Amino acid sequence: MRSNLISVRAVLLSAAALQGFVVPSAYAQDTAAAPATTTATDPAAPAPAPQDEPTTEDIIVTGIRASLASATNAKREAVTFGDSIFAEDIGKLPATNLAETLNRMPGVRLNRDINGEGTQVAIRGLGPSFTRVLLNGSQLQVASDGGTNGGSANREVDLDFFPSELFTRLDLAKSPTPSTLEGGIAGTVNLRNARPFDKEGTHITAVAQGQYTDSNGKISPRGALVASHTTDTFGILVGVAGVKTKTRVDGFETVGWGDGNLPCGTGCTDAGNNNWNWASVVPANAGHGLVAGQPVDVVETSGLTASQLSTALLPRLGRNSLTTGNRSRISALASLEWRPSDELHFALDGIWARSKRDYTKVNMNWQVRNSGPGTGAQATGGMIPIDLTVDENNVVTSGTFANSSFFLEASLFKQTTKFWNINPSVTWQPSDTVKVEASANWSKSSFFREQPTFAFQTAPNSGVDVYYDNTGASNRPLITTNVDLNDPNLGWQWYRQNIQLVRRSTDTKGAHLDTTIGDDQFSVKFGGAYDRAERSIRAYDNSSAYQLSVCGTGCTGATGSVPTSSIAQYLKQFPVSNFGHLASGSVGYNAFVVPDFDALKAATNYASYRDSAPEARGAVTGGATGDMDEEVFGAYFELNGVTQLFGRDLHANAGMRYAHTRQVVVGPSQVGTTIVDITAKSNYDNFLPSINLTYDLMDNVKLRASASRTMTRPDAGQILPGITFSDPSALVATAGNPDLTPYTSDNYDLGGEIYTGGIGYVGLSAFMKNIKGFTETQVTSATFGSLNIPFDSLLSTQQDALRNRAAASGVAINNLPITVNRPVNLSDLRIKGIEATWVQPLDFLFQGLGFSANGTYLDQSSSSGLVATGVSKYSYNLQGFYENHGLSVSLNYVWNDKSIAVNGPQNNIQGAALRSDARGQLDLSAGYQLPFLNDAMRLTLDVLNITNEPIRTTFEYTNAAYSVYYPGRQVLVGIRANF
């Protein structure tokens, strides 16, 4: 179903734009003002009235200006609030996928993977799960999980899966019509794939590019081939696009910040984390004039007061991280159109895609979390803080930490996502006043992630010092040490081994029927829809059995297949010599040992343990597991008409949508020593009214108003029952809530545009969303014993953490307090915003010059104090372009203000949230039409992230870096041929 009702004139204009405007030469510099020629794109379109044409020769105008003209005309003719991007624009913007392309629209923000590539879009201050993504008007679901670090639960759609070369139009509806499929409070994005009658005749387009990434100095291939042929009644289009990228990302991670376990004294409030213990007795080899075995006063050695030291914040795992490998994607499209008559139009679209990530990720962790006296692999004796300094927030800014420990955490990411979708449709228009549209869709998507992890630590009490500098010289703490972390013979010991797998599948099917009765002056549209989506997320874990085989009971390394004495032969020196070269300064230590994965897997019989892994309750990415089956029955009626008000046209779109949802969720839960599935069922109904009004105040001025109610179903990961206990420190558990109800939002929009001629216009709109039932995370405390999780089912790191906490506090393990996070429908949320857009040709200054600019202001509030994550208060997008004499250049700058990435409390520290830094990205796209072969060949150049901006998140405070990634610049050079 289409998200917007666009008049016949707009359809003709849009179709003409996809093929290039044909305009009289007298108007060639003002293409949007010229009448578009008739095309065969819409068989139902009536023939235009004869017009007097100039005797001068016609000029075909294509490129950036043509696509902007198409978008301007579509916006002008639409009754609703929204934006569009057309084929020429998609091809010319510096974008590697559809997510990057949508980022140019007002109010759109990208979620980026660690390599800087956009994956998901968030609209008007709400996360990706609040945006409904459609493919040719039908539901779209992909089983992928949000990128390298993963964890999303499938309401989101990873748009990096889809190459821009196979699509001709993207529409973003910010105010709904009754015929819009429900499920998008933030908005609805409709992706329209290429079809043969978009460009009649026989055509072949070939794209070949080399992609250079300065993070690794490598060149990767990209390419696409699209061919189409039409006769009078039949058309076929086939296309394929592929990329294989050599990936390298240098980064810094912490997994949060915390404070040590130290009573802070009378009148002091502890921050509340306490997930490590300072040394109480001087360990062996501590140095610094300290005598082994003697009591130590860590307050005195630190130089701080007891109150300061007890709340002093350090990174739980300060670690340099290197991710390397290959990412490949191949996508194929086939589209058939048959038009046996002007009244009847059949189409069949099929898309197939496969994406692979084959990465190695190695982290060298400064082991602050869980350090201290205790038992098991993590027992280190505890650190001794020496000469610390802290700032006004008690974030540690410098100091020395005697008796420190490091551990190497090395993982393989082997991840495969597959997807196919079939979408048949038919349009029948038996008369000028009756139109029937029917469509169906079937899709299937699968995802598999294999992630083995091998971890080794420095020997406890071996005299390791850490010198810590967080004084602001870099955008992350600098950690250095007195030992060579790149020495395989340093005396490494086993820490742990994990075998963890995730399988996802998503199946969808649906059918839609729409009937329109009437003409351009007044029509009634009504229809129904059936959509079903079945999702499954299942995790498998054989870590305990594998660890017992590899390093023996307690991971002592004495009895397993790889004893401690043999570890050195399975370690190699760091694979790169310039780690951190894209950072603005020092990154601390810049080399450390890495494992020989192939040798370790062969020596430990890894494959057999992987293939026999039993089901687990929590995924390696930390997300919930289980199954969800949703059936939605929808029906609507819609009125469209034009009337006169004060002698000017008033366009109206109004009606009601009804949706009935049947939902079944199944989640694995531990009962004794067995995992059983718990099933929960729910049914609910939603009535969603909407009205859209557009008033032609003047020939070039439009005023718009909209009021609507929209809904979004609860996040799939939050409604799955059961408890996930994936925190390595054994501090936090996450519980699902199958009783969550949908979020509903009452929306109000007011705005308009002034059309200045040609592609130019100035637009301003204000909006407000009042969201009910917004999910709030309720934080409660429960004892470990009450969670009904067998101790033996935990990872060794969790077992050691619980033992250490029990020993330090003198409390039995089953009585240890555990924080439980559970989502509940408690909050209201109000989002208010203003969007401004200005598109302007500058031919009066320089022929072919122009710009497009848009900006968004957002403000949000709630009675609970919690807010929607990923909301930037300010954001803007600037595009300057030049197009003339065969040369086109587009320079784009997208900037987003800082935002909350994850609401607090984080790591049990009240008021601490994760915050994304403000970030701007400058991109360039250029092309030159070679003056031979009938202008069929075009050289292309794209440069992404020109200013080498990192991606940075902080733990509440600006100098408490949570993660920093340096994706670097990308340069794409290639050739595009059209025949």
Tell me: the pLDDT tens digits for 365-392? 999 987 776 555 556 678 999 999 999 9
**Who wins on pLDDT, 962 or 786?**
962
Does position 633 have pLDDT exceeding 50, yes or no? yes
- 239, β-bridge pairs: 226, 333
Instruction: Bin 72: left if φ > 0, else alpha if -120 < ψ < 50, else beta.
Output: alpha
* The amino acid at 809: S
Q: What is the tens place of the pLDDT at every residue in 243-290?
A: 999 999 999 999 899 888 886 555 555 555 666 889 989 999 999 999
**79: how many CB neighbours lie within 10 A of its CB?**
25
Q: Is the pLDDT of residue 24 over 60?
A: no
**pLDDT at residue number 621:** 57
Predicted pLDDT of residue 609: 94
pLDDT at position 97 is 82
- What's the confidence (pLDDT) of residue 779? 67
Instruction: Note the maximum CA span of the chain.
Output: 102
Mean pLDDT of 322-348: 96
Taken in order 719, 723, 724, 729, is the CA torsion positive or negative?
positive
Q: In this structure, what are the phi and psi dihedrals at residue 565, rounded to the nearest 5 degrees? A: -65, -20
pLDDT digits (tens, 9 = 90+) for 705-751: 999 999 988 877 677 776 666 666 667 777 777 778 888 999 999 99
Q: Are strands 131-135 and 187-193 parallel, antiparallel or unpaired?
A: parallel
Q: Which pLDDT value is given to residue 154?
A: 61
Is it the case that residue 10 has pLDDT exceeding 50?
A: no
CB of 589 within 8 A of CB of 485? yes
As a residue count, the chain comes to 979
- CA–CA separation, 414 and 502 (whole Å): 11
Residue 15, pLDDT > 70, answer no
State how far the Cα of 632 lies from the Cα of 311, in Å rounded to an integer. Answer: 51
Among left, alpha and beta (phi > 0; psi -120 to 50; other), residue 215 is alpha
Instruction: Annotate 412-445 with DSSP letters as a single string.
Output: EEEEEEEEEEEEEEEEEEEETTEEEEEEEEEEEE
Percentage of the chain lying above the pLDDT 90 cut: 55
Tens-place pLDDT, residues 799-824: 777 777 777 667 888 888 777 777 77
Residues 113 and 121: their CA atoms lie apart, in Å, by 12
Q: Which residues pair with 502 in a beta bridge?
A: 449, 539
How many angstroms separate the CA atoms of 299 and 825, rounded? Answer: 44
342, 377, 723, 952 from 746: Cα distances, Å: 41, 54, 33, 34
Mean pLDDT, the chain, whole residue set: 84
Task: Give CA–CA dist 111/100, Å, rounded.
Answer: 10
d(CA 119, CA 259): 34
pLDDT, one tens digit per residue, over 863-883 is 877 777 778 899 999 999 999
In DSSP notation, 492-559 reads: -EEEEEEEEEEEEEEEEEEEEEEEEEE-SSEEEEEEEEEEEEEEEEEEEE-HHHHHHHHH-GGG-SSS
**For residue 895, what pLDDT is reported?**
93
Long-range CB contacts for residues 695-702, cutoff 8 Å, separation at least 24:
695/645, 695/648, 695/649, 695/650, 695/651, 696/648, 696/649, 696/650, 696/651, 697/648, 697/752, 698/648, 700/754, 700/755, 700/756, 700/757, 701/752, 701/753, 701/754, 701/755, 702/76, 702/752, 702/753, 702/755
User: Band of the pLDDT at 828, cuts 50, 70, 90?
Assistant: confident
Query: CA 525, CA 512: separation in Å to the nearest integer?
Result: 13
Check residue 710 and give its pLDDT: 93
Three state DSSP letters for 799-822: HHHHHHHHHHHCCCHHHCEEEEEE
Of 434-448, 488-502, 711-725, which gets the smallest average pLDDT? 711-725
Overall average pLDDT of the 665-680 stretch: 70
Question: How many percent of the chain have pLDDT more than 70?
Answer: 86
